[in-house]
Amino acid sequence: MPYSLREIAKVINTELRGDPNCNIVGVATIKNARSGDLTFLSNRRYFSQLRTTEASAVIVSCTDITMCPVNILVADDPYLAYVKAAIYINPEKTFDFGIHKTASLGENVTVSQKSYIGQNVIIGNNSIISDDVYIGAACVVGASVVIGVGTKLFSNVTLCDDVHIGKHTRIHPGVVIGADGFGIANDQGRWLKIPQLGSVRIGNDVEIGANTTIDRGAIEDTVIEDGVQIDNQVQIGHNVRVGAHTAIAGCTAVAGSVNIGKRCMIGGLSALAGHIEITDDVIVNGMSGVTNSIKQAGHYASAMTVMEVKLWRKNNVRFKRLDEFARRLIKLESKIT
Amino acid sequence: MPYSLREIAKVINTELRGDPNCNIVGVATIKNARSGDLTFLSNRRYFSQLRTTEASAVIVSCTDITMCPVNILVADDPYLAYVKAAIYINPEKTFDFGIHKTASLGENVTVSQKSYIGQNVIIGNNSIISDDVYIGAACVVGASVVIGVGTKLFSNVTLCDDVHIGKHTRIHPGVVIGADGFGIANDQGRWLKIPQLGSVRIGNDVEIGANTTIDRGAIEDTVIEDGVQIDNQVQIGHNVRVGAHTAIAGCTAVAGSVNIGKRCMIGGLSALAGHIEITDDVIVNGMSGVTNSIKQAGHYASAMTVMEVKLWRKNNVRFKRLDEFARRLIKLESKIT
Amino acid sequence: MPYSLREIAKVINTELRGDPNCNIVGVATIKNARSGDLTFLSNRRYFSQLRTTEASAVIVSCTDITMCPVNILVADDPYLAYVKAAIYINPEKTFDFGIHKTASLGENVTVSQKSYIGQNVIIGNNSIISDDVYIGAACVVGASVVIGVGTKLFSNVTLCDDVHIGKHTRIHPGVVIGADGFGIANDQGRWLKIPQLGSVRIGNDVEIGANTTIDRGAIEDTVIEDGVQIDNQVQIGHNVRVGAHTAIAGCTAVAGSVNIGKRCMIGGLSALAGHIEITDDVIVNGMSGVTNSIKQAGHYASAMTVMEVKLWRKNNVRFKRLDEFARRLIKLESKIT
């Protein structure tokens, strides 16, 4: 279904320079756009492509308005304006309500008539599925699980017993929520498994990427607050709390009982050691090792970045003596001054 | 079902000071405990909460006995005593025996009548399921698999052909055991896939966390010995051997043919390079890079920890010249002395 | 079925010294080989085992021919010759064609009569399954998916809508291809989800390891070219392109819009930051942090390797002042010379 440029400009609150009746059918990159496409310029690197783009309209900032052969939407932040336009043009797919005949429901399960339960879905006893919930193929939902209005489980998602999921939350394939935390205690050389008696509570408007795992709490619950964005293959240990609107990039490992503040951004492949506290508004680069609490909002990093392997070998060896070199430097200084 | 404090004190072998008839129904943190709860004090940070706790009983060390309004169990190691009490109060859920009607069993499968095969479970030809085994919903068990007495596969677990699992082992959702190892050989610029002809043997009393992967061996088997504890999202390459009672934390990558000793503790997000040997009783911190064999028991680490990003940028650049700086320091020393 | 040594020597193009009629039934390590086994010597460490091996034949290099009690195949590269022999002796398992009665197919699905669709497989509307395709138990294939000739999905694989898979590609259990990329834009403190409108295109002869995730593109497609080898638990972000015949080891995280060249080798647990370009023929060691484009073919690394924890503590602290130490060294130099 086409949208008029007038309508889009209004929805995303931008100034329109050009034909308000121009029809937009999709979005595209500035390079590969065709007639009917809306595109955007947010990186000056692609500035020269403005003149040759075949897009029907381009979102640009007021400083980038130039001789452009197509219609223009002027935005303070062209990328954010693009995102809003893309959301408007590509509303989420609707789905039919109903329970597929291959689904297995336990006893005393409450399923809203306004929800979809897909092929081979399994739901345990006493669980509650709210309105507008979508549970895709082959999901396994345990007993006493609660899933809030408008939430989507794509496919192959596993929710263990007692997990609570809020509203309008999206959970991608392969995710496991509520498996036992890694709680072990050493008893004379053997590991005792500590019963994992808590559960997991996920808030509203949360996104959880493919194959991410979020463990149930040991005594109390693991908690993911509203608006949290979690990428793929992230591991969240037991009794972690992730504050509202925090984003965690792929493959990051959050050990048990970590308390992450609100609006943080944690880069991919980072490790947060157990029992630490990260205050609000902390940014951590990818591959960072966080072993102590961070009490000041700010931007942190620790990872070494690549060099040629010959050089790396030497530096890696020297690093093992860094403390010694520092002492020798200090000693030398004391001799000179 | 309530337990008397007398009974708990006896089971966990602690001295009881207070009312032996006090009824305990659950465990809780010292802060959130309510009447009927047993709690523990193992971290002096929470000492002040002893006076205000609403718990019915607290496990403390003999040095922490103080004016406490509730019943006390005195233990040398309050945390370990708590764990034992929690295990006693929360025995594993029992399950009914039987094969769900939606399960698909291959030819010549042996399933104990004292086992549970859940919804949509698939079991390949010639596999053997022992007594007291629990196979949760949507598990896929290949052909010629053997699963020992008392083992549990929660849900969505994949065991490939020929995998052997010992007794009383617990495998969490999303785990894949016995997929092909990453065996490739370069033949004039193209990769040949090396047949992965071994399998995987998992011992008794092993725990394997959600979404962990353990590859089958190339020629011989990958082996996980008794009592090994593996957290979520760990990758175990082909032909690895993990020694008895070793614990591996989340997101660690163990490359092919690594031989890990007994009673080791490997921190999360660590990487062990291929073909190395780790002796018994080695502790490795999280995020460590282990590229050579470790022949001495001990405690090892390598990860840099975070600093403010401005400082990190400078240090990261300097690090690339560390060898040069070391040489310059040595030269300077030779001039001074 | 046994193979004569004559036949194997011919197939793998090696010189045979010994009995051409010797029957080979399998492959084994030099240490554990029994009568009927073919083995190989590629590591001089095992040289002494040549004399005692019970193998029926050994592949050795011409420099390693020695008094050996068994038949010999002489190869320039014994390991590569072994691989070719192992492939010949262990051809891939064949499978019967057909659609299991528990599979659920959507509308307008095209399934070749020469393909296998396993138990509980789900295939969405309008998908196309080519000849000789094997789709193992519990796989979920979305709508409008295309799977090329000879491709295998083992079990529990999830392919989201619109994904295209080439020919003779192998996808291991737990893999998720085509889930939404991690596209979010901050709008006044809240995250907007950016529609992920592209898909994923996987080439021919690709291997994708267990629990790996490959996200769909934001606007255009994520692309994995022919012959790429991906290990377990690798994360490939949206709009990544991986060049032909590149190999990526386990647990590596490739952020969005990374462009990796051809014939690269990326070590395990490495992180590649978003929007960078890696040229052809680059080797990156395990655990490397790559934050800038690599424009020169070569071999790169960055990870620190383990030391005793006492020493590590000191060095880690000193590292935070590395820039300061470098300045002090330079100052000292200026005083001396």
User: Do the bridges between strand A15-17 and strand A71-74 make them parallel or antiparallel, or are there none, so unpaired?
Assistant: antiparallel
CB contact under 8 Å between B319 and A321, yes or no, is no
3-state secondary structure of C87: helix
Question: What does the pLDDT read at residue B46?
Answer: 84
CA–CA distance, A284 with C32 (Å, rounded to integer):
50
Closest partner residue to B174 among C174, C227, C251, by Cβ?
Answer: C174
Closest partner residue to B299 among C83, C100, C309, by Cβ?
Answer: C309
CB contact under 8 Å between C182 and A316, yes or no, is no
Q: Which residue of A has its CA nearest to B245?
A: A190
Question: Which residues does chain B have within 8 Å of residue C120's beta carbon, measured at their own beta carbons?
Answer: 104, 120, 122, 138
Q: Which of A194, A260, A292, A321 to mutate to test the interface with B (most CBs of B within 10 A)?
A: A194
Q: What is the torsion angle, in degrees rounded to the nearest 10, for the CA atoms of residue A12, residue A13, residue A16 and residue A19? A: 50
Integer CA distances (angstroms), B42 to A29, A237, B64, C96, in order: 58, 20, 9, 60
Partners of A181 in the β-ladder: none
- Say if residue B284 is in the same domain as residue B190: yes
Taking only the tens of pLDDT, chain A with its 337 residues reads 799 999 999 999 999 999 999 999 999 999 999 999 999 998 888 888 888 899 999 999 988 787 778 999 999 999 999 999 999 999 988 999 999 999 999 999 999 999 999 999 999 999 999 999 999 999 999 999 999 999 999 999 999 999 999 999 999 999 999 999 999 999 999 999 999 999 999 999 999 999 999 999 999 999 999 999 999 999 999 999 999 999 999 999 999 999 999 999 999 999 999 999 999 999 999 999 999 999 999 999 999 999 999 999 999 999 999 999 999 999 999 998 6
- Say if residue A106 is in the same domain as residue A34: no
Q: Which residue of A has its CA nearest to C323?
A: A326
Closest partner residue to A158 among B156, B286, B305, by Cβ?
Answer: B156
* Chain A: closest CA distance from residue C156 (Å): 8
Q: What is the DSSP annotation of C15-62?
A: EEES-TT-EE-EE--TTT--TTEEEE--SGGGGGGGTT---SEEEE-G
- Say if residue A170 is in the same domain as residue A82: no
CA–CA distance, C160 with A99 (Å, rounded to integer):
21
B23 contact partners, CB below 8 Å, separation of at least 6:
B2, B3, B4, B5, B36, B56
In A95-132, which positions are buried (b, 16+ CB within 10 angstroms) versus exposed (e)? Answer: eeeebeebbbbbeebebbeebbbbbbbbbbebbbbbeb
- Domain boundary pick from A89, A118, A153: A89
- Say if residue B216 is in the same domain as residue B313: no
- Say if residue C9 is in the same domain as residue C149: no
* A213 closest CA partner among A136, A158, A161, A154: A158
Question: What does the pLDDT read at residue B68?
Answer: 78
**Other Cβ atoms within 10 Å of C152 Cβ, number:** 21
* C207 closest CA partner among C255, C239, C250: C250
Most distant CA atoms of chain B, gap in Å: 86
Closest partner residue to C191 among A154, A227, A303, by Cβ?
Answer: A227
CA–CA distance, C67 with C50 (Å, rounded to integer):
8
Q: How many residues appear in chain C?
A: 337
Q: Which residue has the tokens 């223009």?
A: A72
CB contact under 8 Å between A268 and C271, yes or no, is yes
CA–CA distance, B47 with B306 (Å, rounded to integer):
31
Question: Which chains have at least 3 CB atom pairs separated by less than 8 Å from chain B?
Answer: A, C
- Say if residue C33 is in the same domain as residue C169: no
Helices (H), B177-266: none
Q: Is the pLDDT of residue C1 over 80?
A: no
CB contact under 8 Å between A233 and B229, yes or no, is no
- Say if residue C135 is in the same domain as residue C73: no
CA–CA distance, A218 with A226 (Å, rounded to integer):
22
- Domain boundary pick from B67, B89, B111: B89
The band of C64, judged by pLDDT with boundaries at 50, 70 and 90, is confident
Q: Which domain, by its residues, includes A13?
A: 3-89
CA–CA distance, C69 with A39 (Å, rounded to integer):
72
CB contact under 8 Å between B336 and C333, yes or no, is no
Q: What is the torsion angle, in degrees rounded to the nearest 10, for the CA atoms of residue C70, residue C74, residue C79 and residue C83? A: -80
Question: What does the pLDDT read at residue B69?
Answer: 81
In the annotation, is B299 catalytic?
Answer: no
Closest partner residue to A300 among B233, B306, B319, by Cβ?
Answer: B306
CB B159 within 8 A of CB C174: no
Q: How many residues appear in chain B?
A: 337
Question: What does the pLDDT read at residue C336?
Answer: 85
CB contact under 8 Å between A253 and B269, yes or no, is yes
* Chain A: closest CA distance from residue C148 (Å): 23
Taking only the tens of pLDDT, chain B with its 337 residues reads 799 999 999 999 999 999 999 999 999 999 999 999 999 998 888 888 888 899 999 999 988 787 778 999 999 999 999 999 999 999 988 999 999 999 999 999 999 999 999 999 999 999 999 999 999 999 999 999 999 999 999 999 999 999 999 999 999 999 999 999 999 999 999 999 999 999 999 999 999 999 999 999 999 999 999 999 999 999 999 999 999 999 999 999 999 999 999 999 999 999 999 999 999 999 999 999 999 999 999 999 999 999 999 999 999 999 999 999 999 999 999 998 6
* Chain A: closest CA distance from residue C329 (Å): 7
CB contact under 8 Å between C29 and B219, yes or no, is yes
Question: What does the pLDDT read at residue B201?
Answer: 98
* C304 closest CA partner among A35, B216, A312: A312
Question: Which residues does chain B have within 8 Å of residue C322's beta carbon, measured at their own beta carbons?
Answer: 314-315, 318-319, 322
Q: Number of residue pairs across A and C with CB atoms under 8 Å?
A: 210
- Domain boundary pick from B89, B111, B132: B89
Which two structure tokens, joined as six digits, stand for B232?
């979520």
Using one digit for the tens of pLDDT, what is the confidence trace for C5-14? 999 999 999 9
| Catalytic entry in C238, C245, C275, C299 | C238
CB contact under 8 Å between B269 and C269, yes or no, is yes
B31 contact partners, CB below 8 Å, separation of at least 6:
B46, B49, B53
CB contact under 8 Å between A301 and B322, yes or no, is no
CB contact under 8 Å between C173 and B184, yes or no, is no
CB contact under 8 Å between A336 and B336, yes or no, is yes
* Chain C: closest CA distance from residue A26 (Å): 10
Question: What does the pLDDT read at residue C47?
Answer: 84
Closest partner residue to A90 among C195, C213, C220, by Cβ?
Answer: C195
* A195 closest CA partner among B204, B155, B207, B89: B89
- Say if residue C67 is in the same domain as residue C207: no
- Say if residue C49 is in the same domain as residue C78: yes
- Say if residue C224 is in the same domain as residue C143: yes
B59 contact partners, CB below 8 Å, separation of at least 6:
B14, B38, B39, B40, B41, B72, B73, B74, B75, B78, B81, B82, B85
Question: Which residues does chain B have within 8 Å of residue A288's beta carbon, measured at their own beta carbons?
Answer: 306
CB B206 within 8 A of CB B229: yes
CB contact under 8 Å between C138 and A137, yes or no, is no
Q: Which of C37, C122, C135, C155 to mutate to test the interface with B (most CBs of B within 10 A)?
A: C155
DSSP at C119: T
Three-state helix/strand/coil letters over C135-172: ECCCCEECCCCEECCCCEECCCCEECCCCEECCCCEEC
Q: Which of A242, A270, A287 to mutate to test the interface with C (most CBs of C within 10 A)?
A: A287
Question: What does the pLDDT read at residue B179?
Answer: 98
- Say if residue A171 is in the same domain as residue A295: yes
| Catalytic entry in B168, B238, B275, B299 | B238
- Say if residue A283 is in the same domain as residue A166: yes
Q: Which of C139, C306, C316, C336 to mutate to test the interface with B (most CBs of B within 10 A)?
A: C306
Q: Which of A161, A182, A264, A265 to mutate to test the interface with B (most CBs of B within 10 A)?
A: A182
CATH code where residue B240 lies: 2.160.10.10
CB contact under 8 Å between C320 and B307, yes or no, is yes
* Chain B: closest CA distance from residue C246 (Å): 9
CA–CA distance, C204 with C95 (Å, rounded to integer):
20
Among left, alpha and beta (phi > 0; psi -120 to 50; other), residue B151 is beta
Which two structure tokens, joined as six digits, stand for A273?
């050691």
Question: What does the pLDDT read at residue B336?
Answer: 85
* Chain C: closest CA distance from residue A147 (Å): 20
Q: What is the DSSP annotation of A52-109?
A: T---SEEEE-GGG--S-SSEEEE-SSHHHHHHHHHHHHSPPPP---EE-TT-EE-TT-
Partners of B104 in the β-ladder: B122
CA–CA distance, C128 with C109 (Å, rounded to integer):
6
* B139 closest CA partner among B124, B149, B128, B125: B124
The tally of domains found in chain A comes to: 3
